């Protein structure tokens, strides 16, 4: 059986993961848009808040649907369009009062062009799949569609290059949970201020996510990059990735009701002589922390686009720094 216990530890107590969490498209669009405007929004936008069109790509999936629901609840104008990786989709998804039409990949460019005509200040949010990150981003950049990229994976360098070259606006973050973002930001600060502070230390990393997660945790990769700057050498192949529900229940301690949606991370450091150890954990149950952060990210990006800010590429650190922490 896979041992969750990092080998280089002097602790005698078993590793216990907390059981509780702690930490003609255009015509159709015009028609739906008119209905959406005429009928009262589900929940009025909070006083002083903005409302703008938001298109969530990946509404057939868990994050896409959650973000679409949260957008409607926050009083944003949900564009009734989303996409699938499958060509033969004949499907609509009801989110509040909006009927979202799902299109296949070949319709993407035409449909998105019509969306821009109809909703020039639209913000796209992408929660699709790692292998779609670059092609989706390339298309948003080609069309000048500002986007929030929540989807992890893909080629990060190419992603940034596309945005830079197109001068499009984008907010890219593998982690939208604001408290987790703050933790990673603290790790980055430590790495910048005390490079080499953990030289010679041994690092073990374990991450557990719902079985459907295809890639390695993007958040873990970012945290490991900080440890590397702190002097730790780490081979990514050693990361323990748990996707098996039985192990998650019995070994990791994920509450049963969150087996289908959780993100538990553990980083364990041990000094060369085994006399000192450190543990960092961030354990998330459900998805509300990400949906909340994603809506803030979309609002933030919309403001930047409207004010024609000269900076074009953002991450969640920028969002937190501008006071969205609460």
* Catalytic sites, residue numbers: 209, 213
Q: Which of 296, 277, 267 is nearest to 207 (CA)?
A: 267
Confirm if 110 and 85 have CB atoms less than 8 A apart: no
State the alpha helices, DSSP H only, in 169-238: 178-193, 218-229
184-216 b/e (C-beta count within 10 Å ≥ 16 → b): bbebbebbeeeeeebeebbbbbbbbbbeebebb
- The β-bridge relationship of strands 53-57 and 123-126 is parallel
Confirm if 74 and 49 have CB atoms less than 8 A apart: yes
* Residue 253 touches ligand NDP, criterion: CB under 6 A: no
Contact stretch for ligand LZUJQKHR (CB under 6 A) within 9-17, 25-33, 52-60, 215-223: 215-223
Quick one: 41 or 218, whose CB is closer to ligand LZUJQKHR?
218
Contact stretch for ligand NDP (CB under 6 A) within 44-52, 53-61, 223-231, 242-250: 53-61
Measured between alpha carbons, how far is 96 from 98 in angstroms, rounded to an integer? Answer: 6
Q: Out of 219, 248, 270, 294, name the contact with ligand LZUJQKHR by CB under 6 A.
A: 219
Residues in a beta bridge with 77: 53
Give which of ligand NDP, ligand LZUJQKHR, none residue 127 binds (C-beta under 5 to 8 Å, depending on kind): ligand NDP
* Residue 176 touches ligand NDP, criterion: CB under 6 A: yes
Confirm if 266 and 233 have CB atoms less than 8 A apart: no
According to CB under 6 A, which residues from 274 to 303 bind ligand NDP?
290
Measured between alpha carbons, how far is 93 from 197 in angstroms, rounded to an integer? Answer: 51
Quick one: 195 or 212, whose CB is closer to ligand LZUJQKHR?
212
Structure-token match 């229940």, residue found:
249
Give which of ligand NDP, ligand LZUJQKHR, none residue 6 binds (C-beta under 5 to 8 Å, depending on kind): none
Confirm if 122 and 55 have CB atoms less than 8 A apart: yes
Q: Out of 60, 101, 114, 152, name the contact with ligand LZUJQKHR by CB under 6 A.
A: 152
Confirm if 150 and 291 have CB atoms less than 8 A apart: no
* Residue 84 touches ligand LZUJQKHR, criterion: CB under 6 A: no
Quick one: 88 or 326, whose CB is closer to ligand NDP?
88
Alpha-carbon distance values, 73 to 126, 135, 288, 302 (Å): 18, 30, 13, 18
DSSP character for 320?
I
* Residue 174 touches ligand NDP, criterion: CB under 6 A: yes
Contact stretch for ligand NDP (CB under 6 A) within 81-89, 199-207, 231-239, 252-260: 81-89
* Residue 263 touches ligand LZUJQKHR, criterion: CB under 6 A: yes
* Residue 216 touches ligand NDP, criterion: CB under 6 A: no
Q: Which of 321, 293, 299, 325 is nearest to 150 (CA)?
A: 293
* Residue 175 touches ligand NDP, criterion: CB under 6 A: yes
Footprint of ligand NDP (CB under 6 A): 57-58, 60-64, 83-86, 127-130, 132, 150-153, 173-177, 212-213, 290
Footprint of ligand LZUJQKHR (CB under 6 A): 152, 174-175, 209, 213, 217-219, 263
């Amino acid at each position: 059986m896979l041992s969750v216990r990092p080998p280089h530890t002097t602790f005698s107590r078993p590793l216990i993961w907390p059981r509780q969490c702690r930490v003609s498209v255009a015509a159709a669009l015009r028609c739906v848009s008119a209905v959406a405007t005429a009928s009262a929004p589900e929940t009025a936008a909070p006083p002083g808040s903005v409302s703008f069109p938001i298109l969530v790509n990946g509404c057939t999936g868990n994050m896409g649907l959650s973000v679409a629901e949260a957008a409607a609840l926050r009083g944003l104008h949900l564009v009734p369009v989303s996409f699938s990786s499958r060509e033969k989709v004949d499907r609509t998804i009801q989110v509040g009062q909006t009927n979202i039409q799902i299109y296949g990949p070949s319709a993407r460019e035409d449909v998105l062009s019509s969306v821009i005509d109809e909703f020039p200040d639209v913000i796209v949010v992408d929660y699709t799949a790692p292998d779609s990150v670059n092609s989706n981003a390339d298309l948003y950049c080609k069309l000048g569609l500002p986007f929030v990229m929540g989807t992890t994976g893909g080629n990060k360098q190419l992603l940034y290059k596309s945005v830079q070259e197109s001068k499009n606006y984008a907010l890219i973050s593998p982690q939208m949970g604001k408290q987790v973002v703050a933790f990673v930001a603290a790790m980055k600060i430590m790495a910048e201020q005390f490079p080499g502070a953990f030289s010679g230390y041994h690092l073990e990393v374990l991450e557990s996510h719902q079985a459907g997660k295809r890639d390695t945790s993007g958040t873990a990769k970012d945290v490991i990059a900080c440890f590397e700057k702190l002097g730790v050498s780490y081979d990514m192949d050693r990361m323990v990735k748990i996707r098996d529900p039985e192990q998650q229940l019995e070994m990791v301690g994920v509450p049963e009701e969150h087996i289908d949606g959780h993100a538990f991370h553990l980083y364990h450091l041990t000094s060369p002589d085994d006399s000192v150890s450190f543990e960092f954990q961030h354990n998330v149950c459900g998805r509300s922390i990400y949906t909340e952060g994603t809506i803030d990210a979309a609002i933030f990006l919309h403001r930047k686009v409207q004010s024609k800010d000269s900076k074009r590429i953002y991450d969640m650190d920028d969002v937190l720094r501008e006071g969205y922490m609460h």
